[in-house]
Amino acid sequence: MLGIILGLALLMFLAYRGMSIIWIAPICAMLVAVTGGLDLLPAYTDAYMSGFVGFAKNWFPVFMLGAIFGKIMDDSGAAKSVAHAVIKLIGKKFAILAVVLACAVLTYGGISLFVVVFAIYPLAVALFREANITRKLIPGTIALGAFTFTMTALPGSPQIQNLIPIQYFNTTPTAAPVMGIVGAIIMLGGGI
């Protein structure tokens, strides 16, 4: 147990310091194996790599198609023209809100969170450039719109995080609508 805590703490610390997760994840997995008394090679090849390969196999098509869609939007100028239309409609002053709401509409409409990130990023870059807002705010803006209230709080969200607990709690996707809407308002209001 101590090895898991140490491994996670080291992973968070090194990632926060800017090191690549590609290098530090296997190192931290080895730390967990050593402190847990496991043989390094079987722990690495059986446990760590099988989990990594399973994740990569399941999510690669989503990442690839999302990246291609985002790149097409960027290269074709579609992201820039949508950004101009949003700026005309909402105004440069509300560029952050426009990105948050675009992400929210897409994720609540059933598009995977990962696809939304790749699809919205070029739009956000063009929109923030027009509004003269630093690009450093883009990850937080996308996260607020895609990873918070539409993913977990709004009733009926088709995201997997909302659907997995249904079988365990014997509920429906629209369970606790008042509590969910209040939670979503708090998340959105606190984030903006």
Alpha carbon distances (Å) from 9 to 5, 28, 51: 6, 9, 20
In the chain (192 residues long), the average pLDDT of successive 10-residue segments reads 90 90 88 88 82 80 75 76 72 85 82 79 88 92 90 82 79 89 92 85
Output the pLDDT for position 139.
93
Domain that holds residue 75: 60-145
Amino acid letter for position 96? I
Output the pLDDT for position 6.
92
Output the pLDDT for position 87.
66
Output the pLDDT for position 179.
92
- Specify whether 38 is located in the same domain as 7: yes
Total domains in the fold of the chain: 3
- Specify whether 70 is located in the same domain as 106: yes
- b/e for 79-94, b at 16 or more Cβ within 10 A? bbebbeebbeeeeeeb
- Specify whether 152 is located in the same domain as 81: no
pTM given for the model: 0.62
- Specify whether 115 is located in the same domain as 178: no
- Specify whether 85 is located in the same domain as 153: no
- Specify whether 15 is located in the same domain as 49: yes
